[in-house]
Amino acid sequence: MSSDDLFLATAASVGARIMDDAVWHGGRCSWMGAAADTKEPWRVEYRALGPSVHGGTAGVGLFLAQLAAVTGEPRARRTAVGALRHAVERAPNLPPADRDGLHAGAVGVALAAARAAALLDESELHARARSLLDEVRLPSGPERCPDVVMGSAGAIIGLLALADAHDDPRLMMRAAETGEELLGRATVTRHGWSWATPGRRHPHHLCGLSHGAGGIGWALSELFAATGDARFAEAARGAFAYERSWLDAGSGTWPDLRVSGQRRGRPRPPGAAATGTWCHGEAGIALTRLRTFPLLRSGAVRDDAEIALETTRRHVAGLLPYEIEDLSLCHGAAGSADVLVSSGARWDEAAELGHAVLERHGADGDRWPCGTPHATTPGLFLGLSGIAWWFLRLYDRRVPSPLGTWG
């Protein structure tokens, strides 16, 4: 069996395991999975999945739709539809504060359903995605989270992608209104533009894709490309300038500003947990710059991408000799390696990690190292669906990244 075929066989094997574990009722399906306690993240408990893309049935369903599109497996198609039915029906019941964001909220669920509808030619999912957008009201006001995963930046990215998928300019107008909110809430200093997270006490406004200025800059760049409004481009450049003010040029790293004691111009603490990751580290920062350089045409953005990619490459290479404790997309090795694939020039280095993982676990490994401590979940960003999607990408680089907008 060739290495490419082995990557596909691994993705299919993990997908079969996920399908075997599905719990069905009334044409919908869900799963039990490990979830970390928000106050004590080292503690996990098993619970039914919610509807989100990040850890819920929308993410699992989207992976299974990708798997069905590649393999033609009828059971993957049926389970994908069942999972996304569950997600679309449950999303309106989320508390209002939890409906926002690309990965945590209802916009992401609608986009996952729309992407799966296109992959599987399922008109039912297309209609359900449209009706969810009409049904759900998103948060607004000064307490709205600004970030990509849980907040308004993610809503902007999702609404713009859905405006294109549904050919609906009203969704672009909603995205622009959300962008106006972000402009009004920015903190602008000599270092650039940044955003506070309501209800969270961080020493500084955060960097990074998932919850920081990098992700917000990505959203504003997309909004500039869609509307032509130069104010959004100015704010995006400001967001990236803020992150650049925190760059340690000697090590090529950005700080995880959730951690106290960080200072501009000071070396990063050795072995920082977020180094090289998608969520708070250089892999996510690289991804924001790879996406926005063609939109902003900024040499500084290009330079950021090169630095962040090199740090991510070193991070992935440094994992090879050791046991991989976390293979998840969010803060694990697969997310870092997937960004190398997205760079267009580093597939071989990502594939080397894939071979190392298979040597240690085998294509039918019983326990893939998820992002939940010593426990397993089928979820996309912390679990098996994301790991298997990464193997699909190693098999065929034309498969879209699970770290973008999935299309």
How does pLDDT run across 164-207, given as a tens digit for each residue? 999 999 999 999 999 999 999 999 999 999 999 988 788 899 99
- Per-residue pLDDT reduced to its tens digit, 81-137: 999 999 999 999 998 888 999 999 999 999 999 999 999 999 999 999 999 999 889
pLDDT at 266 over 80: no
Q: pLDDT tier at 345 (50, 70, 90 boundaries)?
A: confident
Distance (Å) of CA 179 to CA 140, 147, 173, 194, 289: 11, 12, 10, 14, 19
Q: Is the dihedral of CA 377, 379, 381, 384 positive or negative?
A: positive
List pLDDT tens digits, range 305-324.
Answer: 999 999 999 999 999 999 89
Return phi, psi of residue 253, to 5°: -120, 155
156 neighbors 175 (Cβ within 8 angstroms) = yes
Strands (E), 160-215: 187-189, 192-194
**Which one-letter amino acid corresponds to residue 96?**
P
* Residue type at position 259: V
Torsion, CA 67, CA 70, CA 75, CA 81, rounded to 10: 60
How many angstroms separate the CA atoms of 371 and 28, rounded? 26
CA-based angle 124:125:128, to the nearest 5? 90
User: With left for phi above 0 and alpha for psi between -120 and 50, is residue 252 left, alpha or beta?
Assistant: left
Q: Give SS3 for 55.
A: coil
Q: How confident is the model at residue 304 (pLDDT cuts 50, 70, 90)?
A: very high
**How is residue 53 written in tokens?**
């893309």
Q: According to the model, what pLDDT value does residue 366 have? A: 63
Identify which of 181, 283, 296 has the alpha carbon closest to the alpha carbon of residue 234.
296
Query: What is the spatial distance between Cα 247 and Cα 192, in angstroms, rounded to a whole number?
Result: 13
* pLDDT at residue 272, as a whole number: 63
The pLDDT score that the predictor gives to residue 44 is 82
Q: What angle do CA 292, 298, 299 make, to 5 degrees?
A: 120
Pairwise CA distance, residues 132 & 141, whole Å: 22
* Residues 6+ positions from 221 with CB-CB distance below 8 Å: 232, 233, 236, 291, 292, 295, 296
pLDDT at 275: 87
Identity of the amino acid at 276: G
